[in-house]
Homo-oligomer: A and B are copies of this chain.
Amino acid sequence: MELLFLGTGAGIPAKLRNVTSMALKLLEERGSVWLFDCGEATQHQILHTSLKPRRIEKIFITHLHGDHIYGLPGLLSSRSFQGGESEVEVFGPKGIGLYLKTSLSISGSYLKYPIKITEVEEGIVFDDGQFRVEALLLDHGIPSYGYRITEADRPGTLLAGKLEEAGIPPGPIYKKIKSGEKVTLADGSVLDPAAFLGPRQKGRIVSILGDTRYCENAIELARDADLVVHEATFAAGEEEMAHEYFHSTTSQAADVAINGGAKRLCLTHISSRYDRLASKALLEEARRFFANTELAEDFKEIAIPMPQP
């Protein structure tokens, strides 16, 4: 599981940072990629990466501002010409359906693959047992969602030695124990799978938040997360301006991570007012509040390893 930033700027594209998009690479986990937001020229950014558009399985849109959606019709259309045959599901606030249908139909774009559009409300928007995605509303003037992706815990490894010690010969029982099932033996005694399994492998939690002011739901979404991706449109000290424009400062992003008990923070949605040097200063100021902070850059990839027990 890796997070690849495709666009990390705010509002309008600039040479240094394109408008927002990031790809959660789940290639090992499910052979697919999930996009979060799709600003204009996201498909152009992808040309400079190893991402295969046909691998894109789901696209989560945080909110409908142009810098987060204007790349969607083009990316979906081009995917048809790039070998995309599998379904794509697009999640987003109410309105994303009309936007997509209008753009695709007026331009006469016929996709060679099925597309499913889900206009989300707060709550669990996807759960297939392997991953669960929960959406909560943030505070951005228009409906803006944060998405919390939770990987299911995996059962511990089978302690075969211990089963043999208990006199259980290898066979179908081992499989049942591994899957966490209780087993009643011929003599009526019951095997508790917990006794024969190593510690459960905790799943990962990634929180990707749309544009927002500092708010409670951001903290809720960031709870115990392995990684929180949070906007930082303004510098610490500019809280008043951030409030007025429905955005956050670096220190507010850090507060979300701290108050949510998150392990790691990555700042994105960096204004073009900050050049390379100035954005490094943004990072340093955030690190004074929350040490485990990183700064997103276009084409930067962050590995999200399994949590250590």
Residues of A within 8 A of B (CB): 11-15, 18, 40-41, 43-44, 47-48, 64-67, 69-71, 73-74, 77-78, 81-82, 95-96, 98-99, 102-104, 106-109, 141-142
CA distance A96 to B66 in the complex (A): 18
CB–CB A103/B99 < 8 A? yes
Copy number in the complex reads 2
CB–CB A66/B13 < 8 A? no
CB–CB A103/B14 < 8 A? no
CB–CB A66/B109 < 8 A? yes
Q: Per a CB cutoff under 8 Å, which of B40, B70, B77, B106 touches A99?
A: B106
CB–CB A65/B108 < 8 A? yes
Q: Can you show 18 pairs from A to B with CB atoms below 8 A apart?
A: A11-B81, A13-B44, A14-B47, A15-B47, A18-B44, A40-B40, A40-B71, A41-B41, A44-B44, A64-B108, A66-B77, A66-B109, A69-B107, A95-B106, A98-B102, A102-B102, A102-B103, A108-B141
Q: Per a CB cutoff under 8 Å, which of B11, B64, B82, B107 touches A106?
A: B64
A13 partner residues in chain B, CB cutoff 8 A: 43-44, 47, 74, 78
A108 partner residues in chain B, CB cutoff 8 A: 64-65, 141-142
Report the minimal beta-carbon distance from A3 to chain B, rounded to whole angstroms: 23
A65 partner residues in chain B, CB cutoff 8 A: 107-109
With A64-B108, A78-B13 in contact, do A44 and B41 touch (Cβ < 8 Å)?
yes
Report the minimal beta-carbon distance from A10 to chain B, rounded to whole angstroms: 11
Report the minimal beta-carbon distance from A44 to chain B, rounded to whole angstroms: 5
